[in-house]
Structure formats: structure tokens, C-alpha cells
Structure 1
Amino acid sequence: VRISHGSYKGYIGNVKDSALSTRKVEPHAKRQRITVNRNRVVSIKNDSQTPRCGYMIRIDLIR
């Protein structure tokens, strides 16, 4: 999942626990679980939707 709002905006991680209104997410960048409102979490369907660092660098060099 990707966190879409708040201080952790842009972080990508795994959902470790789910409640009615919140999700406990473990971001890949931090090995701690954070509680996020379920409206602030977006599902990522596959890796092709996640930009890679090398891809972003190539775009900057072309421009």
C-alpha cells in the first residue's frame, strides 16, 4: 500500500493489521508499525505502478 496523506505521505509498506477505521502499516523505509486512517491508504496493484529510482534519474537526464 501507499500512504496518500499526512506526515507519512508517499511511504510504501505492508498492511500488518486492519480494523474498521484504521490500518497498521509497516513502511519499507522504517521498521516500525504506524497506525493510519484507512482513508489515507491506497492499494498498489503491482510493482509497475511504483516508480524506480533509476527510472526517475533517466527522465531527469533526458529533459
Structure 2
Amino acid sequence: MDNKTKIIAAYGVKEGKGKALVFEADLANKEDADFATDLEAVSATKPQNLQEFITRLVEVQKMPKQ
């Protein structure tokens, strides 16, 4: 059974124009699942460009996991 899902993390969304990073996560793999959660959290902050997205992703990954 294929347990992969595509995580689409948007950034730079202005007036209906934007870009996205796509990560195909294997949700059976804890590292993939954790990374997918981080991508979704960063995308929810609506970064305006890729640099801002990556900076926020690094910050999220430094935070202690529960």
C-alpha cells in the first residue's frame, strides 16, 4: 500500500499569484511526517518569498518537538 501524500507549501501569494514547494511524504516514515508538519506550519504563516519560507522553516525546525 502506498502511504505517500503530497504536501503543498505555498509562499509568495499575492493577488492570486504565488509559488509552492511540493514534498511527497511517506507518512509511515516519522521523519517525513514531521517534516510535512513543519512545511504546513510554515506555509500557514504566508511567507512572501522563498527566502522567508526557508528562514521560517529553519526556525520551526529548531523548536522543541512535542
The interval holding the TM-score normalised by the smaller chain is under 0.3
TM-score (norm 2): 0.23
* Greater relative CO, 1 or 2 (CA 8 Å, sep 6+): 2
What TM-score results when the alignment is normalised by the length of structure 1?
Answer: 0.24
**Which of the pair is proportionally richer in helix?**
2
